[in-house]
Structures are given as structure tokens and as C-alpha cells.
Amino acid sequence: MARYIFITGGVVSSLGKGLASAALGAALQARGYKVRLRKLDPYLNVDPGTMSPYQHGECYVTDDGAETDLDLGHYERFTGRPANKQDNITTGRIYQEIIAKERRGDYLGGTVQVIPHVTDAIKNFVLEGNEDYDFVLCEIGGTVGDIEGLPFFEAIRQLGNELPRGQAVYIHLTLLPYIPSAGEMKTKPTQHSVKELRSIGIQPDILLVRCDRKIPETERRKLSLFCNVREQAVIPAYDARSIYEVPLAYHAEGLDTQVLEAFGITGAPAADLSRWVKINEILQNPEGEVTIAVVGKYTVLKDAYKSLIEALVHGGIANKVKVNLEWIESEVFEKEDPAPYLENVNGILVPGGFGERGSEGKIAAAKYARENKIPYFGICFGMQMAVVEAARNMAGIKDASSTEFGPTDVPVVGLMTEWEKEGGNKETRRADGDLGGTMRLGAYNAVLAQGSRIADIYGSTEISERHRHRYEVNIGFRKQLEDAGLQFAGTSPDGVLPETVEIADHPWFIGVQYHPELKSRPFEPHPLFASFIAAARDYSRLV
């Protein structure tokens, strides 16, 4: 029977509950246990699909097409277990399902209430489908005391009573601030946070304390005393040089040991963290470095590109080099010459995005990379803008554009209104339809041309990658573009939807319609990112 670990947060948000959950999952996995991680988000959106990256960071997409919280990316990268739509729930989705049931009359005329109907729905979500796992880690978004989070805290409180004794453990992540003027760390924020949690009826078994320096023994004893937690279960969570150091750091501080003790588990296998040791050795002792320019639209908030950043790091691990990132807002290139910004970089990456803002700047970046033979990687929107650039400047289609930017006589990129899903089922969309959940989402197969660069990189002509887009490169322009030198190297199995493009006489120029960053892992870097960083390394040696 699965055991449940509930991870809550206090004092402030953004302390790293998702990373802590993922790292603990990795540490338990290193002991031979099977783990599953789930995220419970209290906001009213059904999913983060319609939320601005500035609001919520990256929208992470699973194989089965769920638009989820970015923490699921951490879960996948640290454990290697693919997440699915059953691993992320929001208040919005819960209420959507409950109201649909009420309209159908499923509640037999009863009054629908937060308790028991909402809390029961949360509990059902937490408990469903865990038969094959030893531990299920459930992260509750937000902080204790948030009004929208109260049903979730009530639900996990109830589960603590309803599960067999010893089957639930509560971990509370808090901040232990250092006050320079006082010259000491302050435990009071954590005390108040735990007091709030206990007022709900939840007593934490383990305190995970974020801090930037060693915790004095006096402060550790104080936390133990006032928070009613054993002293050895007060675990410091220090700032790390890399997020991939965290599983090692938590294990060294005894977090996974304390979790097992809280469950009463004895004789657990020793942790084999050798792969994390190897990853950190490479990160801390690189054999060189490269600089990649990321020309994007949301560069103010790096969490908007979380998976992309990590995939580039993974590419560096594969090549034993440090990857430095130069963040450039694409709108800059609509007013200024790209050369001063790009002439000293070793590679240019244009990531996904939505809308017309900054699009001409991304086109300028693709043009600069093409003309100056700098390795170029275009992802989703970055591929589309590379195609528009090639249409204008290689094929002579001067007015080439995308219907995403408004009506155009030359729709090299257009709204996708119908496509085929796996199994032969058709999906259709309207331009005036809902935005949420209506893109081409999740894993789709693609066929790569034999002998193409991208097929050589994958070592296969058949791949499956995750998508998240509403517009598509128009296959009708294929001949004109290929005659000009832009090869459509990959398409959907039916040959209708372009999936990848490349330029054969360029050192490394590849665009992909999908998001390969979503399937990259530190211990299994995605081949495209490994190849791109290798090309950037080789380019750095030439200049």
C-alpha cells in the first residue's frame, strides 16, 4: 500500500516546494522505492494554459496533453517518471467537475458544500491510481493561511486520520531569515507558520528550513521546541550551487532518513546517488564553456523558460561544458542592429511564444544566425519565424507572414483548424473558439527524412515529441522553400504538418515545431540539445 507525503509551505511563496518534492522523490528513488509526485494548485484557473508566463511561469505539457504547473517539470527531470494529467489538479478543475455533476443531478438534490464535496474530490484525486507506488508525494501550492488553499489543507488533514496509522507524513517548508542588523537568524516566522498549520489540525513531522547559512544549534533547538518537531527532524535546506546538488544535500542532512523513520520503516536499502554525484562533478568541473543567446519575449521572468534553461544545462552536461545564457528581449532587434548583441555568442536559440509582439525581432535573430553561420535552434514559434525569414529572404516571398498576426495574403504560417490525433481521431478548432486546452497538445509522432541532420541526431527516422501550439507552417509552401534551401526534414506521419526544418549547408540550423526541452533529463540529455551545445562548442573554437 502506498504511503503519502504531504509537502506544505509557509512564510512566503517561491521557497522551492516543487524542487524540494522532486529532490526528496529522487532520494527515495535512489533507495529503490517507486515514487509518484502530484501537485495540488489552489487557484481557480482550470489549468495554467491561459495564464501569462509573467503570472505563473512556464506551462508544462505532459505526454497525454495536460497543461500543468511547471513543478511537474521538476518531478519528471529528477525522477524520470513521465507525469500525466492525473498528477496536477486545481481548484478550478475540481469545481468544474463538481458543478457538472450537480447539473446532472448526481448529488440527488443534496446541498453541495466545500465539506464534504470539495474535500472529497481532493482526496479522491490524491488517492487514485497509486497501487504500484511505494510513496506518493503531494505538494500543496501556495502557503498555509491562503484562503483559497483551505480546502486542500482540510482534505489532507482528513486523509491523515482516514489512512491507516503510519501511512501519512507531513513536511513543512519554511523560511529562516537572517537579519543583518541584528546579526542573527529569526525563528519567529517559522513558529507562526507552524502555529497556523497546527490551528488547521496538521502537525508537521518534519521541518524543511530554507536558509542561506548554517543554523546554530540554539536556533535548531528552538524550532524543535516551539514547533513540536524532533530536533533531528529539523532539516536545513541551504542554497545550492545547482538544483541538481539538492538531492545530495538533502540526503546528507538526513531528509530521506527522517521520512523513513517517520513512517516507522527500518532496514531500508542504502541510497545509490552515484548518478547525481557524476552530474555534479561535471557541472562543477567543466572542460570549457559556451555562450547561448536566448532571444525571447518573456526574458524578464526566467521561470517562463524553466524547462528550456534546464535542457540547455543538460546539453552542457552531455558535452562537459558550462552553458552561459545571454537573455535578449526580441523587441530590441526591431529597433537595433542584432550584430552587437549576437556577434560574440556561440549559438542562438529562439524559443516558443504567442502573439505578434517581438516577432520581427525573432525573425531578425534567425536571419543573423543564417547569414553568419552561427548555430541556430528554433523551437515552436522560433521555427515558424525561421520559416518566415527563409520565405522572405531566401525564397523571395516578400510579404510572407503568419495569420497569428492578422490577415495576410501570404500565410506561410496559419491557424490549424483540423489535425489527426493518435488512433486516427480528428480534432477540429475554430478561430473564435475557447483558448484553454484547444491547442495541439501532448505527444505526437513525426517522421524524419532519411539522411537528414535531425534524423542523424536522433539516430532514428521515427520520433515522438510534445507539442503546444495553435498555428502551423503551411505545407503548401514546401516546394518554394526547399528549392531555396530550407529542407522540411520532418513531418507528421500523414505528411500534412511540418515538424522540423533545417538548412543543409549551414553548420547547425534546425527548427522544430514541438518542445524537445520537455523531455530532457540531467541523466539523459535530449539529443537535440546535446547536439546544439556540441555545435556551439565547435563554433567557439573557430572564432
Q: Which of 253, 380, 499, 506 is catalytic?
A: 380
Q: Are residues 121 and 207 in the same domain?
A: yes
Q: Which of 74, 172, 469, 515 is catalytic?
A: 515
356/329 Cα distance (integer angstroms): 14
Q: What is the pLDDT of residues 369-409, one digit of tens each?
A: 999 999 999 999 999 999 999 999 999 999 999 988 888 88
Q: Which of 138, 404, 517, 526 is catalytic?
A: 517
- 498 in Cβ contact with 513 (< 8 Å): yes
Full 3-state SS string of 90-127: EHHHHHHHHHHHHHHCCCCCCCCCHHHHHHHHHHHHHH
Q: Are residues 52 and 166 in the same domain?
A: yes
Has 517 been annotated as catalytic?
yes
Mean pLDDT of 337-344: 94
Using DSSP bridges, classify how beta strands 347-350 and 376-379 pair: parallel, antiparallel or unpaired: parallel
CATH (domain of 153): 3.40.50.300
Q: Does residue 444 sit within a domain? A: no
426 band by pLDDT with thresholds 50, 70 and 90: low
Q: What is the pLDDT of residues 138-169, one digit of tens each?
A: 999 999 989 999 999 999 999 999 999 999 99
Has 334 been annotated as catalytic?
no
Q: Are residues 199 and 269 in the same domain?
A: yes
Its domain, for residue 212, covers 3-279
Using DSSP bridges, classify how beta strands 440-448 and 486-491 pair: parallel, antiparallel or unpaired: antiparallel
Q: Does residue 443 sit within a domain? A: no
Q: What is the pLDDT of residues 407-416, one digit of tens each?
A: 888 999 998 7
540 band by pLDDT with thresholds 50, 70 and 90: confident
Q: What is the pLDDT of residues 460-481, one digit of tens each?
A: 999 999 999 989 999 999 999 9
Q: Are residues 199 and 292 in the same domain?
A: no
Q: Are residues 252 and 298 in the same domain?
A: no
C-alpha cell at 394: 531566401
346/366 Cα distance (integer angstroms): 14
Q: What is the pLDDT of residues 481-499, one digit of tens each?
A: 999 999 999 999 999 999 9
Q: Are residues 212 and 107 in the same domain?
A: yes
Q: Does residue 451 sit within a domain? A: no
Tell me what pLDDT residue 300 has: 79
Q: Are residues 316 and 272 in the same domain?
A: no
Tell me what pLDDT residue 355 has: 82
**Helix, strand, or coil (residue 237):** strand
Q: Are residues 272 and 357 in the same domain?
A: no
Has 380 been annotated as catalytic?
yes
**Given 259, 279, 299, which residue is the final one in a domain?**
279
Q: What is the pLDDT of residues 108-129, one digit of tens each?
A: 889 999 999 999 999 999 999 9
Mean pLDDT of 321-342: 94
417 band by pLDDT with thresholds 50, 70 and 90: low
Q: What is the pLDDT of residues 258-268, one digit of tens each?
A: 999 999 999 99
Tell me what pLDDT residue 183 has: 86
Tell me what pLDDT residue 427 has: 61
Q: Does residue 531 sit within a domain? A: yes
Tell me what pLDDT residue 425 has: 62
418 band by pLDDT with thresholds 50, 70 and 90: low
Tell me what pLDDT residue 265 has: 94
Q: Taking 60 as the threshold, does the pLDDT of residue 433 lie above it? A: no
**Given 257, 279, 301, which residue is the final one in a domain?**
279
Q: Does residue 175 sit within a domain? A: yes
189/543 Cα distance (integer angstroms): 53
Q: Are residues 294 and 173 in the same domain?
A: no
182/250 Cα distance (integer angstroms): 29
Q: What is the pLDDT of residues 54-105, one digit of tens each?
A: 777 899 999 999 999 999 999 999 999 999 999 999 999 999 999 999 999 9
Residue linked to cell 506544505: 8
**DSSP letter string, 384-430:** HHHHHHHHHHTS--TT-EEGGGS--SSEEEEE--EEEPTTS-EEE--
Tell me what pLDDT residue 235 has: 96
In percent, the amount of the chain with pLDDT more than 70 equals: 95
Domain count, the chain: 2
6/136 Cα distance (integer angstroms): 8
Tell me what pLDDT residue 460 has: 97
Mean pLDDT of the residues in the chain: 93
6/142 Cα distance (integer angstroms): 13
221 band by pLDDT with thresholds 50, 70 and 90: very high
Q: Does residue 267 sit within a domain? A: yes
421 band by pLDDT with thresholds 50, 70 and 90: low
**Given 240, 264, 279, which residue is the final one in a domain?**
279
332 band by pLDDT with thresholds 50, 70 and 90: very high
Tell me what pLDDT residue 55 has: 77
Tell me what pLDDT residue 303 has: 86
Q: Does residue 214 sit within a domain? A: yes
Q: Does residue 455 sit within a domain? A: no
Q: Are residues 223 and 292 in the same domain?
A: no
CATH (domain of 304): 3.40.50.880
51 band by pLDDT with thresholds 50, 70 and 90: confident
Q: Are residues 269 and 295 in the same domain?
A: no
Q: Are residues 95 and 67 in the same domain?
A: yes
Q: Taking 60 as the threshold, does the pLDDT of residue 323 lie above it? A: yes
